[in-house]
């Protein structure tokens, strides 16, 4: 049991590390490609990898009768809606600010947890939510600019990133429904393939000519492949068992790690600076997220059985 739990925690940390690094890699790719091109290529490459790997390891890719609609909704929530928000949002906000907004996913997961799983919010949870939002406001504030007018975090960039957050919440709810019936490779293969289908019409309408005008470089190819393999494939393959084992709320609390890791990677790779507001906001967000994830509500029968 302890070995299994340790492995799940390792999976959680690694998946968050890969997603944190994606905020840095994506900035490199954006020097060459537009967001629609970037995500479409990521999904096509991910689909090719997973649909090649699955037969080699005899992993079934068939979908059970009646589950097709859930896979369509899954891919619509993420990658389609999520990456529309994140990919375009990251054009306007810095890597660190983007990661901090994404790290609020645990806060928004609490609401469906209350509505659908009848979990209770303690005063500690509510205080954590309030503290985290104060941290976001602080990170968005830069002296001399109004809220939403900072060059690091304009309002339209913030709203796009928040749209990605809400999409991720929907994805978590759907993946929880399917994770017990399908292998993680099956789930990620289908969400990548269906996501690519969703994105292809937009790519041809808006980005096809720009894509053809770009001459790929070693930097571009390396960043795109790294972004795809680690953030679009491995992170999801590692994260699905975490949701399955720990549940939606506990699994999403690990998103606390994303802004810290991203800030460190951005400092060394992109040369992004640390400000007092950014550091203070990060501290409030992370502290609030840990408080919001404190398990002080009622125990479920499964939780009680696990404890015993």
Residue 301 pLDDT: 40
Is 125's pLDDT higher than 90? no
Query: pLDDT value at position 3?
Result: 57
Q: What are the tens digits of pLDDT across the range 236-285?
A: 999 999 988 877 777 877 877 787 787 777 777 777 777 777 788 778 87
- Torsions phi, psi of 118, nearest 5? 55, 30
- Distance, in Å, from the CA atom of 59 to the CA atom of 39, rounded to the nearest integer, reads 25
Q: Of 157, 16, 165, nearest to 105 (Cα)?
A: 165
How do residues 200-241 score in pLDDT, each as one tens digit?
999 999 999 999 999 999 999 999 999 999 999 999 999 999
Model confidence at 184: pLDDT above 70? yes
Does the CA dihedral 278-280-286-291 come out positive or negative? negative
3-class secondary-structure state, position 67: coil
CA distance 220 to 278: 29
pTM of the model: 0.80
- Separation of alpha carbons 16 and 261, rounded Å: 8
């Amino acid at each position: 049991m302890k070995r299994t739990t340790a492995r799940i925690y390792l999976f959680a940390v690694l998946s968050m590390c890969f997603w944190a690094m994606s905020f840095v890699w994506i900035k490199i790719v954006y020097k060459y490609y537009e967001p629609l091109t970037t995500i479409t290529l990521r999904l096509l490459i991910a689909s090719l990898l997973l649909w090649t790997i699955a037969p080699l390891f005899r992993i079934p890719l068939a979908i059970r009768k009646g589950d097709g609609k859930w896979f369509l909704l899954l891919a619509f929530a993420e990658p389609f809606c999520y990456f529309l928000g994140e990919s375009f949002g990251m054009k306007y906000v810095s890597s660190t600010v983007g990661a901090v907004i994404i790290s609020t996913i645990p806060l928004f997961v609490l609401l469906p947890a209350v509505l659908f799983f009848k979990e209770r919010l303690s005063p500690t949870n509510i205080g954590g939510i309030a503290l985290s939002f104060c941290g976001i406001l602080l990170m968005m504030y830069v002296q001399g600019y109004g809220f939403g007018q900072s060059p690091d975090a304009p309002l339209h960039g913030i709203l796009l990133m928040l749209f990605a957050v809400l999409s991720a919440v929907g994805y978590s709810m759907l993946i929880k429904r399917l994770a017990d019936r399908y292998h993680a490779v099956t789930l990620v293969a289908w969400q990548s393939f269906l996501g690519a289908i969703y994105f292809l019409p937009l790519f041809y309408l808006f980005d096809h000519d720009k894509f053809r005008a770009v001459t790929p470089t070693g930097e571009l190819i390396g960043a795109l492949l790294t972004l795809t393999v680690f953030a679009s494939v491995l992170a999801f393959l590692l994260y699905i068992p975490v949701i399955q084992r720990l549940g939606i709320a506990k699994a999403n609390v690990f998103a606390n790690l994303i802004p810290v890791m991203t800030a460190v990677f951005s400092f060394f790779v992109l040369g992004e600076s640390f400000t007092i507001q950014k550091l203070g906001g990060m501290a409030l967000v992370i502290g609030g997220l840990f408080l919001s994830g404190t398990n002080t509500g009622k125990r479920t029968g499964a939780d009680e059985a696990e404890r015993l």
